[in-house]
Amino acid sequence: MNTWIRIVLVSALALILLALTAIAIDTARENTPQGTNGKYDAHQEADRPPGDISRSSPIPVTPGSITAGSDGTKVSPAVLSGPSVSGVPVFPPDHIWNTRVDSLPVDPRSAEYVRTIGSTSYLHADFGSGMYEGNLIGIPYNIVNGSQEKKTVIFDYADESDAGPYPIPDNPLIEGGSDHHLLIIDRDAKILYELYAAEKQADGSWAAGSGAVFNLSGYTLRPSGWTSADAAGLAILPGLVRYDEVNAGEINHALRFTAPSTRRAYTWPARHYASSVTDPAYPPMGQRFRLKSSFNTSGYPYQAQIVLEALKKYGMILSDNGAPWYITGAPDERWDNDALHTLHRLKGSDFEAVDSSSLIMSENSGQVLIHP
């Protein structure tokens, strides 16, 4: 082989090796979290612009797919993580409040339900920053520890209320308006206490319309036919939109909402109705709805966008009579009221009712049935 041919072959081999090296480097970059020098940068998530929906977003999962738990049992990835408040889990991850419904079938009466609630009525965030008529905007909650003194509460509906006593702090945060909901989390016992129409009496004692106590580590529902601090007999706190979870990039639970007229019926997981209407075109308490998957959320401000994504994945549970499509949240000075106001662009026709019956493990339990 002459010298010229040898030079050509060596040069060609060098070019091939260089190309293979470049491919390897590009592959490594594609599989490495980006940051300084290819290492994960802890500040990168926080520095993303507020309008970026991917900020702090979880690893996506395919609804209905199955993974093995630590004990070898089958667990759906859709319920592997659940919400918490100040480190206290708000029901187990496989509780109905914390279960995705984006892959469930549409309820046969969906169109009727949407029509009777209001096809052209707009979605409204019934929470925000600042004050309205001297009250915080939304339903606040109180966090106490196990040493908080418990107080006796006199109920108007004592036959459907948990007797207590209730660990009411000296100056609790209470919802304004007519409902006066008082929510308390005992962080040590992981117990949720909720009161409706709570009012402190002149002598320092407490009275309320009704009250309910929930073990946040369990699945037990109210006795069939019983109310709670909410008309549907459900807990209120699990359905509140909270600023901390929106700021973190994901709401991983269903939301609570109201409708003007409901049926004299309730469906799992609700336990109580609050209507004399028997027309089946009206939804029962406990009916689940979700935002249609085709709805484009990309043009909304960050805070509104996170709420809309939750409405697609987890939906909302009809919990009380009230204004149409009003979703409930906790007040916080960091809410951007202008961003939340953009939710008014959505109409009832953007939603559909969900058939959740396939999730029922027991009518008396909030635990969902995981399909293999």
pLDDT band of residue 370 (cuts 50, 70, 90) is confident
Residue 255 scores a pLDDT above 90: yes
CA distance 128 to 333: 7
Token output for 2 = 């002459």
Distances (CA, A) of 333 to 127, 226, 246: 11, 35, 14
pLDDT at 47: 29
Tell me the torsion sign for CA atoms 288, 294, 296, 302. Answer: positive
**What pairing do the DSSP bridges indicate for beta strands 210-215 and 351-354?**
unpaired
Tell me: pLDDT of 345 over 80: yes
CA gap 195, 180 in Å, rounded: 8
| pLDDT value for 256 | 98
Residue 138 in tokens = 């939304």
* More confident: 130 or 47: 130
What pLDDT score does 372 carry? Answer: 37
The three-point CA angle 268-229-288 to 5° equals 30
What pLDDT digit, counting tens, does each position of 259-274 carry? 999 999 999 999 999 9
Q: What is the mean pLDDT of residues 245-256?
A: 98
The per-residue pLDDT for range 105-137, each reduced to its tens digit, is: 999 999 999 999 999 999 999 999 999 999 999
Q: Do 346 and 123 form a contact (C-beta atoms < 8 A)?
A: yes
Report strand pairing: 210-215 vs 316-321: unpaired
- Give 164-178 pLDDT, tens digit per residue: 999 999 999 999 999
Region 83-91 average pLDDT: 96
pLDDT at 348 over 50: yes
Reported as type and span, the H/E element at residue 15 is helix 3-30
The whole-number average pLDDT for the span 217-229 is 98
> What is the distance between the alpha carbons of residues 247 and 55, in angstroms, rounded to a whole number?
9
Q: What is the mean pLDDT of residues 213-219?
A: 98
Q: How confident is the model at residue 78 (pLDDT cuts 50, 70, 90)?
A: very low
Residue 41 has pLDDT above 80, yes or no: no
Give the pLDDT of residue 198. 98
**Is the model's pLDDT at 336 over the cut of 60?**
yes
Give me 34's structure tokens: 């980006």
Please give the DSSP secondary-structure letter assigned to residue 227.
Answer: -
Per-chain mean pLDDT for the chain: 84
User: What's the rounded Cα separation, in Å, for the pair 195 and 184?
Assistant: 9
CA distance 327 to 241: 8
Strand pairing category for 206-208 and 124-126: unpaired
> Which of 30-39, 76-85, 206-215, 249-258 has the least mean pLDDT?
30-39
